[in-house]
Chains A and B, each alone.
Chain A
Amino acid sequence: MSALAVLVLLAVLVWIGWYGPKKVKLHRLHRDALDALEVLDARLRAVHALVLEVAEAIRPYLPEEAARGEDLAAAAGAPYSVASAAQVGRHLAAAQALRMWLHHGLGTAEAPPRMAQSPAIASMTRLLAEHDRAIADAAAAYNRAVYAVTVAGWLLPGNSGIGQLPYYEARAAELRRAMRGDAKAAMAALQSSFAELHGDEFEQSMARLQQQRLLMVKTAVAVPLGALVLGIAITLASGFLLGGLAIWMFVGSLVLGQVPFMRLRKAVKLAALNRIAAKLGLLYHHKPKPPIARFSKSNILARPEFVKTDDGFEGTHNGLYFWVCEARVGMKGRDEPFDGLLMEVDVPWDFRSHTVVMPRHFLTMLSWAKPPKHLAQVELEDPEFMGAFAVASDDQVEARALLTPAMMSRILALGRSRGRDGLQLAFIEKRLIIAIEMNKAGEMFELGGAFEDPYSDITDPKQFRTLLRDVGFVLDVVDSLKLHEAWPGRTSSPPQAMLATGPSN
């Protein structure tokens, strides 16, 4: 009984001395995040009034779009509870959809000329730009607050419910507008000078994490030793009735001591990947949600049973939007799940066909390893390409317009460097989707040697060279296909969903 009392006392002391203050801090950070959300929400709601004006202004030219704008405004104005992360997420997504509608509605090159020349439209466009700047600042503050809560939540074992707020994420259309230059060039600068990773916020954040880490190292040594001593004392006090207790307490505290390390490791990884992404003008997502349906339609990930994703990035390169993430996808009829990278890059022209490129090997006879049945085989002129890949499409001419000789040689080169058996591509819905199967996919975007030495300095950006190498690999893939210059003379229009109705007058 006395041993139990000692353990309970110890737990209470730990709670009062460590867990309690952390929990209080987490609550404070959560409150800050909610305040930031309120500010962001106010900025987003300021746009709603503009939507109604824009809807009125474009109604004579595009009545269906005007009605759609009003529907979106109603959805974005619906009440929500800040206590529910799902509701906050839906609210932010609705606000995002509304802003995209505004931008497409006001800025499209395909708008009817009379509408484009309207002074009211011009003044609204200027007003929207001002709102955008205010929203961008509020969104940055909100995302920083959410990040702080997330990290604090990770470092607090047993935390549930608090800190699960979603990020306000810029989506494709915004990223296209906010192109911050060439991600590849930025990567070259980062790789040549790790100092580029520095920044006040990053340094402060990493310094805090380093302090916690050193404390954890000490705790990880002290607690098992303390548990061992306590266990021996209890064993002696109980007259050897609890003979194995000392060993169990020692081993148990050793194992439990690893949990905070794992959480810290994750926190450091998130901080570093967010920092790298920010320096490259990309957005990082810890648990991305890729549109798997497009991959299934192309039989690239046929009949998926489960999808697990990790570490995703989105952004622009050479003016083209792309996203990429790690994925593990189990499929019916296939023993081993797909392990690798999934990727999508915008194609700068409005092709309408569906063309699939798959490795040609002995597995091609299996249903999950060959193009969908409704696509016809395409026979191209390049024998090396045709030896390596099977091509199928629903439009023989457009398939050849997409797979130009230069494009074929770039895909071959990509296949040679990444292992052609694991490379699958498809042109679908104005995008190029790519799946690269890799043996050690799960090890990508993970910290390398930084954590092997418990006393290494994680504030040194050089510790993140493995992360940089992996992000560089992704950019290399996007860059190697040179989609921005692959189809000279081709043009693209804004997304069809917005202005598919065309001028009504």
Chain B
Amino acid sequence: MESHTIVLAIALLVLGGGYAWYVSLINRRNKALEALGSVDAQLQKRHDLVPNVLTAARRFMEHEKDVIERVTALRAAVQQPYAPTDPDQVRRHLEAEGALQQALGRLMLVAEAYPDLRSSQTMITAQQTMAEVESNIAAARRFYNTAVNNLNSAVEIWPGSLIAALVGVRALPFFEVEAPDMRKGIDAGAYLGGGGQPVG
């Protein structure tokens, strides 16, 4: 076999391998985008539920305007459009969702102190629906995180990183269950009356 035939064969092999890697990369990115779409569909159900909760809350929780306004502002923020292929925008979007989830959780917690609100039919229905919506969001998050894990592995491992850089595919952020500030360590001393600083 002549040398130029060998070179041609190697070149074809490299090109073929590179193309296969590229196809796999695009498939994984599309899977991650599909999963992100599923997450958004489930999050939209949460957004749709917020006005009902706020209507009931405004009637009974006149002294908790801050909490209500924060939920209102965060709902408006999470409904801003974003580019699903831009990891930074996706990260900000998911963080805003985390913040909304936290604020809603706090609102529900505060609502416990208002027996009239707690026993109102709107609130009872909203809480039941919320539990269902949150389970769906958790399932969609698992789908998204699995797809992102597959994509990120392909993007970060060489020569995937090279091909990804060439075609502009970037790693996407995971959808974390808590807001970043909830990751801080807990200082048991503070709870036991000993003061102290949060760890971490």
A→B interface (CB under 8 Å): 379-381, 396-401, 487-491
Cβ-defined contact, A397 with B136, below 8 A = yes
B146: nearest chain-A partner, CB-CB: A379
Other A-B pairs beyond A400-B139, A489-B128, 14, CB < 8 Å: A379-B146, A380-B142, A381-B145, A396-B35, A396-B38, A396-B143, A397-B136, A397-B143, A488-B131, A488-B135, A489-B131, A489-B132, A489-B134, A489-B135
What is the CA–CA distance of A400 and B145 in the complex, to the nearest angstrom? 12
Contact of B132 among A379, A381, A400, A490 (CB under 8 A): A490
A-B contact pairs, 24 of them (CB 8 A): A379-B146, A381-B145, A396-B34, A396-B35, A396-B143, A397-B38, A397-B139, A397-B140, A397-B143, A400-B140, A400-B142, A401-B135, A401-B136, A401-B139, A487-B135, A488-B131, A488-B135, A489-B132, A489-B134, A489-B135, A490-B132, A490-B135, A491-B128, A491-B132
| Interface assignment of B152: CB less than 8 Å from any CB of chain A | no
Closest to B34 in A: A396
For residue A400, which residues in chain B have a CB less than 8 angstroms away from its CB?
139-140, 142-143
Contact present for B146 and A397 (CB under 8 Å): no
- The answer to whether A381 touches B128 (Cβ under 8 A) is no
Q: Mark B24-64, 1 if CB is under 8 A from A, else 0.
A: 00000000001100100010000000000000000000000
A398 touches B146 (CB 8 A): no
Complex Cα distance, B140 from A443, in Å, reads: 44
Residues of chain A lying within 8 A (CB to CB) of residue B128: 489, 491
The secondary-structure label for the interface of chain A is: loop
Number of residues of chain B lying within 8 A (CB) of chain A = 18
- Min CB distance A82 to B, Å, is 50
Residue from A380, A487, A490 within 8 A of B146 (CB atoms): A380
Assembly CA distance A397 to B175 (angstroms): 15
CA distance A379 to B142 in the complex (A): 10
Bound-state CA distance A380–B35 (Å) is: 13
Cβ–Cβ < 8 Å partners of A397 in chain B: 38, 42, 136, 139-140, 143
Residues of A contacting B143 in the complex (Cβ-Cβ under 8 angstroms):
396-397, 400
Closest to B145 in A: A381
How far apart are the CA atoms of A501 and B140 in the complex, in Å?
Answer: 30
Cα distance, A367 to B36, chains bound together (Å)? 32
A487 to chain B: closest residue by CB: B135
Contact across chains for A381 and B142 when beta carbons are under 8 A apart: yes
CA distance A401 to B132 in the complex (A): 10
Q: Chain A residue with minimal CB distance to B132?
A: A489
- For B150, the chain A residues whose CB sits under 8 A away are 379
CB 8 Å contact bits of B110-152 with A (1 = contact, 0 = none): 0000000000000000001001101110111011011000100
Q: How far is the CA of A401 from the CA of B131 in the complex (A)?
A: 12
Task: State the Cβ distance, A302 to closest chain B Cβ, in Å.
Answer: 27
Q: Which chain A positions have C-beta within 8 A of B145?
A: 381
Interchain nearest-CB distance for A304 vs B (Å):
33
10 interchain residue pairs of minimum CB distance:
A489-B131, A401-B139, A400-B139, A397-B140, A400-B142, A397-B38, A396-B143, A397-B139, A489-B132, A379-B146
- Residues of chain B lying within 8 A (CB to CB) of residue A401: 135-136, 138-139
- B-chain residues with CB within 8 Å of residue A380 when the two chains form the complex: 142, 146
Q: Which residues of A contact B42 (CB under 8 A)?
A: 397
**Shortest distance from the beta carbon of A306 to any chain B beta carbon, whole Å:** 39
Residue in B closest to A405 when the chains form the complex, CB atoms = B142
Beta-carbon contacts under 8 Å, B85-110 to A = none
Residues of B within 8 A of A398 (CB): 139
For the complex, what is the distance from the CA of A488 to the CA of B139, rounded to whole Å? 14
Chain B residues with CB under 8 A of A491: 128, 132
Whole-angstrom distance from the CB of B40 to the nearest CB of chain A?
11
Measured CB to CB, the nearest residue on chain A to B131 is: A489
A398 to B143, CA, bound (A): 10
Which of B42, B136, B145 has the largest count of A CB atoms less than 10 A from its CB?
B136
Q: Give the distance in Å from the alpha carbon of A398 to the alpha carbon of B42 in the complex.
A: 11
Beta-carbon contacts of B186-198 to A below 8 Å, as 1s and 0s? 0000000000000
Q: How far is the CA of A401 from the CA of B133 in the complex (A)?
A: 11
Query: In the complex, which of the residues A380, A381, A397, A489 has the most CB atoms of chain B within 10 Å of its own CB atom?
Result: A397
Instruction: Give the residues in chain A near B35, CB-CB below 8 Å.
Output: 396
Contacting residues, chain B, for A399 (C-beta < 8 A): 139
Bound CA span A329–B150, Å:
40
Inter-chain CA distance A233–B177, complex, in Å, is 93
Question: Which of B132, B143, B150 lies at the interface centre, i.e. has the most chain A CB atoms within 10 A of its CB?
Answer: B143
Q: What 1/0 mask marks residues of chain B from 143 to 172 whose CB sits below 8 Å from any chain A CB?
A: 101100010000000000000000000000
**Bound-state Cα–Cα, A147 to B200, Å:** 73
Residues of A within 8 A of B139 (CB): 397-401
* Measured CA separation A488–B135 after assembly (Å): 9
User: How many angstroms between the C-alpha atoms of A489 and B131 in the bound complex?
Assistant: 5
Taking CB as reference atom, which chain A residue is nearest B143?
A396
Instruction: Please report the C-alpha to C-alpha distance between residue A401 and residue B38 in the assembled complex, in whole angstroms.
Output: 13
Task: Return the chain B residue nearest A400 by Cβ.
Answer: B139
Q: Given the complex, which residues of B lie within 8 Å of A379, measured CB to CB?
A: 146, 150
